[in-house]
Amino acid sequence: MKVILGLSGGVDSSVALKLLKDEGYDVEAMFMRNWDSATNNDVLGNPDIDDEVCPQEKDYQDAMHVAEELGVKLNRVDFIGEYWDTVFSYFLNEYKKGRTPNPDIMCNKYIKFNAFLKHADEMGADYIAMGHYARVRHEADKSYLLRGVDSNKDQTYFLCQISQAQLRKSLFPIGHLTKPEVRKIAEESNLYTAHKKDSTGICFIGERNFKKFLQNYLPSQPGNMVTMDGRIIGKHDGLMYYTIGQRKGLGIGGSHDFKNEAWFVCGKDLEKNELIIGQGHDSEYLISNNCICSDINWICDTPIEGKAYTAKFRYRQKDVPVTLEFLDNNRIRVNYPQGERAVTPGQAAVIYDGEICLGGALIDEVYFNEERRKY
């Protein structure tokens, strides 16, 4: 049984590779090169963009070390064009709309489980494998995506847009392990990446300053920062730099005109280019109890309208009890009567039936009862 594993140069995919080899699979590794600063800057006609050296080359060197240690062939494949067309363009367009996108979800959908899978098929693979904290249960006629055993690292949220056909061809070798167990295996096996720090941030941005990076691609449109009743109390640098529920980076000092409470982003008025802010972590305007979502993707079973499920509206969020209503134009309304804070357009509503991740949809509109929030 031939398996092609996505080897990123991190400890998770390194251990996944070792486990597959130990289990007797005919395994090869593939390093995905998805981002090239010089090429992408040139596409924009702006070769002088202040863009730090991409850490991808270091990751590739680390992947080479691990592949050599385990005696596995490492293939390097460029998906730069596919990434630009399907992930980065989507990322920019969402920010232009004032939304907060999740490019990791699209990277899984279009790159890791599509472009990668097609390339692996050409290499004669029976399965592809990734170092995600998720599990899959393959049955005779259907496959089920299950939460990773480590609830703190579970990555099924980011897999909510993959298809049944993609899941049928996928393995997740470390999904039954916790992060400490993965580290222990790496250390005991003397893998080169055993003590490598986990990567953070968006894949093509890495550890860079997000605001500075985004300014390279989208022009800033400063405007007024206003309270819920319309009082101007400051200036924002551009609506795209802020997300619903954000506290840090607002730059608002104390004032005798307001309570001594922290300020949070409570909404955006795109027509007026105003950032709406309010005081208090649980500001009334930050609470919603239903949202409308599109781009629906069910991985295995289609949910039943009105049945009790749970959902996550952001990664690592505690499960929220929900019911679903099916609307026209391939949309759903997700109801959570108990209320939830900072449900954000552009993010995903991922639906669970116990351990099974059924799939999800992208949040378009957020409501409290019938009142639409200006998110």
338-347 burial, b if ≥16 CB within 10 A, otherwise e? Answer: eebebbbbbb
Long-range pairs for 215-219: beta carbons < 8 A, 24 or more residues apart: 216/41, 216/44, 216/46, 216/49, 216/50, 216/51, 217/44, 217/92, 218/92, 218/95, 218/96
Q: How many CA atoms lie within 13 A of 39 on its CB side?
A: 11
Based on its alpha-carbon atoms, the radius of gyration of the chain, rounded to whole angstroms, reads 22
Would you say 312 and 160 are in contact if contact means Cβ atoms under 8 Å apart?
no
> One of 107, 266, 293, 357 is an active-site residue; which one?
107
What angle is formed at CA 106 by the lines to CA 335 and CA 365, rounded to 5 degrees? Answer: 30
> Is 160 a known active-site residue?
no
Catalytic, out of 54, 160, 203, 266? 203
Q: Verify whether residue 357 is a known catalytic residue.
A: no
Return the structure tokens found at 347.
Answer: 């993010």
Rounded Cα–Cα distance for residues 339 and 351 (Å):
17
Q: In 3D, which of 129, 133, 130, 146 has the Cα closest to residue 179?
A: 133
- Residues that are catalytic: 107, 203
